[in-house]
Structure 1
């Protein structure tokens, strides 16, 4: 099983830190798990222009292939202007909806206000619903205050939510794999 962590931003460090922490906790729960981090900072991705995803080339094709080949996901975004990043939205637009169908998604986000956690509820979960993905019941939202000056997560409640999210996505993925939900699609 391949768990892909997506850091859906090209600026800052906190989103990647959150995603990496969940991947680390998932690996502790199941050492056989294959984990990979897709850091969007490392790729020069084209804007989606509505064409068939298989016709893109270069970094754009690489990113589409990485996302499409994963079995389940931890998807992270900072919250800018009360919304997910354009980078993450563009990634969702590039990937064929069938590639995400019946796959487990867990969400992490970070922002500068305590109310921005609502972006997970009001934007990310509906997008997952469109893809007909399975969404972990919990998620992690971290405020800038939850990190120290070295960008280390120091808030114990956030760290516990990270452990809980890792447990949920691993459990859900194993249960779906055991039940072979894809046989019914």
Structure 2
């Protein structure tokens, strides 16, 4: 099983820190799971315009392939102007819907106010629903207050929520894999 952590932003460090922390928890507690980190900052991804995935640039194709090949996900975004990033929305637009169908998604987000956690409920969960993906019941939202000046997570409650999310996505993925293997 392959878990892909996606940092869906082109700026800042906190989103990547959150995604990586969930991945570290999974690695530590479930070494049998392959873990990969995808940072959108590392790729020059073209805008989605409806063409076949094979017609995009190498970076864009690489990202599409990485996302499509994963079994389940931790997806992170900062909240800008009360919404997910354009980079993450573009990524969702690039992925063929069937490539995310029946896969587990866990969400992490960070923002400047405590109320921005609602973006997970009102934007990310409906996007997952469109893809017919399964969403972990927990999610992680972090505010700037949860980090110190070196961008280290210093809030014990946040660390607990990260651990819970890591366990939920693994549990859901294992249960779904077992269920689907019996159907065949």
Q: Aligned equivalents of 1:28 and 1:91: distance in 2? A: 28
Q: How far off its partner does 1:50 sit?
A: 1.2
Q: Aligned equivalents of 1:154 and 1:79: distance in 2? A: 20
Contact 1:102–1:181 (CA under 8 A) maintained in structure 2? no
**CA RMSD, 1 decimal:** 1.2
Q: Aligned equivalents of 1:132 and 1:56: distance in 2? A: 25
Contact 2:105–2:169 (CA under 8 A) maintained in structure 1? yes
Q: How far off its partner does 1:29 sit?
A: 1.9
Q: Aligned equivalents of 1:117 and 1:149: distance in 2? A: 22
Aligned to 1:178: 178
Q: How far off its partner does 1:28 sit?
A: 1.7
Q: How far off its partner does 1:32 sit?
A: 1.0
Aligned to 2:25: 25
Normalised to the residue count of structure 1, the TM-score between the two structures is: 0.97
Aligned to 1:140: 140
Q: How far off its partner does 1:182 sit?
A: 9.3
Aligned to 2:91: 91
Tell me the SS of whatever aligns to 2:18: helix
Q: Aligned equivalents of 2:156 and 2:66: distance in 1? A: 32
In the alignment, structure 1 segments of 5+ residues that lack a partner are none
Q: How far off its partner does 1:181 sit?
A: 6.6
Contact 1:77–1:108 (CA under 8 A) maintained in structure 2? yes
**Deviation per residue, 1:52-79 (Å, 9 max, x gap):** 2232231000000000000000000000
Q: Aligned equivalents of 2:182 and 2:160: distance in 1? A: 32
Normalised to the residue count of structure 2, the TM-score between the two structures is: 0.97
Aligned to 1:159: 159
Q: Aligned equivalents of 2:154 and 2:182: distance in 1? A: 40
1:1-185 equivalences in 2 (<5 Å): 1-180=1-180, 183=183
**Deviation per residue, 1:25-62 (Å, 9 max, x gap):** 11122111100000000000000001122322310000
